[in-house]
Structure 1
């Protein structure tokens, strides 16, 4: 898809920053509702921090197997590229909207992970990939075919209580998920890196026996 994305080292950001620091920075920048509601958790794939650019899709209930099964799913996944994070709303029916082969194809396209407001399957096989974290509500073996189908892509989607726009920056880890609007990404990333460095200094002082009161006075982080 056509996109306007700043040049960011996503691997370095995944190593050095995390969802909570982005949430704190967004709070300080008067964007106090940038985290998803509780319920989005890592279901498959490696731990650590998933960070990348949102590619959005909506999967809606269907009552029969389509004439061309998985048609828009195939188009969507084949269109993924470097740095993408799949963000899919499949909240309207509890079928597994994501699985092993979708994940494998996404890895081949250069995508970094997936966030599914709904259910997934093939957890062990996704784990075996070793490089594609998938966040969602839970797992279920029930196939999507004839139950849910992607109807729209690259539009604003509501997932876990928050609207995500295409190319928003997604930061997901064991704490949850923070979403940074694409128009603010450069600013927020720079501040998040600064805050993470400050928190590292505060942590070192605490481990050396420093008092929490002194750390708060010096660094203003907790």
Structure 2
């Protein structure tokens, strides 16, 4: 095969892959609300329903318009003192983020410093990153408000250095439950969730959910059915029917 044909085939595969990704984004974005997506994942036996707990919207200030939908670019932060973690990547973690991705940055539970700040937002915006989800803290709140969508556990006056550093970029990461919330018999420990670089992250005022790439089609179909059932329930409830009879009629429960 000539070099020209090889290049042409690679371009064709890239175009097909891009079109497939765009179609995937449209389908999952239009699926419905984030809670219905979590409901669908629970039906598919996902242990957490794709939900990342304890995260809140910090930017923009208008929560109604704040929405994210994109392919995850995972970043794992570790304590700077962690000698067992992989070495710090040679590329800065924001420089490594692909255009149109949603950055998902994890930090150790006990870290009180931020893992994201105003300069990171400036670079991410210039790169075309859709938004940022931090399983950790951010700072420089006012610098984000007019420019990028960010969800985080909280905020801090402390910067990333010298407290944490990147360990892995674009590799699977684990989302663990907050160690400050001890499990009990009534409320067992939240399952650890593994997020892959190919997964789809969606977020809005209701929260953050990650859909495994291989389950997108099933989730879209289930949320479509759920939306139709909810519409029938809503109509009956507006007409004065009881919740129990309405749910039994339309949901079978």
Same fold (TM over 0.5): yes
- Measured in 2, the distance between the counterparts of 1:155 and 1:185 equals 20
Q: By how many angstroms is 1:149 displaced? A: 2.0
Matched positions, count: 212
Q: Distance in 1 between matches of 2:252 and 2:204?
A: 20
SS of 1:195's equivalent?
helix
The SS at the match of 1:107 is helix
Normalising by structure 2, we get a TM-score of: 0.71
What is the TM-score of this pair, normalised by structure 1? 0.79
For residues 86-128 of structure 1, what are the alpha-carbon distances to aligned partners after superposition, in whole Å with 9 as ceiling and x for unaligned? 1111225322111223223323333322111111012122112
CA positional deviation for 1:24: 1.0
What is the alpha-carbon root mean square deviation over aligned residues? 3.1
Question: Among residues 115, 131, 134, which one is paired with 1:97 in the alignment?
Answer: 115
* Structure 1 unaligned regions, length at least 5: none
Q: Say yes or no: does 1:185 pair with 2:201.
A: no
Answer with 1 or 2: which has the greater Rg: 2
Q: Structure 1 residue 137 and structure 2 residue 153: aligned? A: yes
- Cα separation, 1, equivalents of 2:131 and 2:236: 35
* Offset at residue 34 of structure 1 (A): 2.9
Is residue 69–residue 145 contact of structure 1 (8 Å, CA) maintained in 2? no
In structure 1, the residue corresponding to 2:157 is in which secondary structure? coil
- Gap regions ≥5 residues in structure 2: 1-13, 82-87, 178-192
Structure 1: distance between partners of 2:243 and 2:58: 35
Deviation at 1:37, TM superposition (A): 5.3
Distance 1:15 1:180, change over 3 A: closer
Counterpart mapping for 1:149-160 below 5 A:
149-160=165-176
Q: Is the 8 A contact 2:200 2:211 kept in 1?
A: yes
Q: Which has the higher contact order (CA 8 A, sep 6+)?
A: 1
